[in-house]
C-alpha cells in the first residue's frame, strides 16, 4: 500500500499533504526532530527521532520504497528515496527524478563548497501560493502513479 512520508522539520505543506492523504486513504508518517502537532487520526502517525544531522532522513530512507511518496526539500534524501524505488517531491512542487537528481546533488555540493569558503550565496526564493498549488498538483500525480506500482 502507498505510504506518504513527510520530512516535517520546516515543511510548509504538511496540511496540504494531510488532505491529499485523507482523500486517498493513505497512511502518513510525519517525521521530525521535535514534537509537531498533527491531526488526531490513526492514518497519521508522528515519529519524533533523536536530534542530529540526517536522523529523520535516515528513518524515512530506511522505510520508503516502491509505491511510497516522500515530501522533502532534502536532495540527498530524495536521491535515496529514488534509489529505493519511491517518489520524492519538494514542497514547492518540484518532482525529483532519476534524470535530474545527479545535477541537483552537484549544485548542492557546489553551494556548500562556496559557503564553506565564506561566499555569500542566495537562499531559496520565498515560498508562495503558486508553490503550494504546484505542490498539490505534483502530490496528486505522484499518488496516482504510486498506486499503479503498489495497488491497494
CATH level 3 topology of 3-149: Rossmann fold (3.40.50)
The rounded mean pLDDT for the chain is 89
Tell me whether strands 69-71 and 3-7 are parallel, antiparallel or unpaired.
Answer: parallel
| Sequence-ordered list of residues with C-beta below 8 angstroms from that of 36, at least 6 positions apart, any chain | 8, 14, 30, 46
Dump pLDDT digits (tens) for 130-149: 999 999 999 999 999 998 87
pTM confidence score: 0.86
Domain ranges for the chain, please list them.
3-149
Residue pair 17/139 in contact (Cβ under 8 Å)? The answer is yes
Query: Which ranges in the chain belong to alpha helices (H)?
Result: 14-24, 55-63, 75-83, 101-116, 129-149
Amino acid at each position: 500500500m502507498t505510504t506518504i512520508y513527510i520530512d516535517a522539520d520546516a515543511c510548509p505543506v504538511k496540511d496540504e499533504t494531510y488532505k491529499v492523504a485523507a482523500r486517498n486513504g493513505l497512511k502518513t508518517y510525519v517525521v521530525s526532530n521535535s514534537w509537531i502537532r498533527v491531526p488526531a487520526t490513526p492514518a497519521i502517525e508522528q515519529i519524533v527521532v533523536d536530534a542530529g544531522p540526517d536522523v529523520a532522513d535516515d528513518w524515512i530512507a530506511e522505510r520508503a520504497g516502491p509505491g511510497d511518496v516522500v515530501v522533502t526539500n532534502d536532495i540527498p534524501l530524495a536521491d535515496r528515496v529514488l534509489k529505493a524505488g519511491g517518489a520524492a517531491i519538494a514542497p514547492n512542487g518540484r518532482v525529483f527524478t532519476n534524470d535530474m537528481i545527479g545535477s541537483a546533488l552537484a549544485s548542492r555540493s557546489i553551494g556548500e563548497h562556496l559557503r564553506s569558503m565564506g561566499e555569500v550565496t542566495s537562499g531559496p526564493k520565498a515560498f508562495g501560493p503558486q508553490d503550494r498549488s504546484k505542490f498539490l498538483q505534483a502530490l496528486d500525480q505522484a499518488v496516482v502513479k504510486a498506486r499503479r506500482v503498489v495497488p491497494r
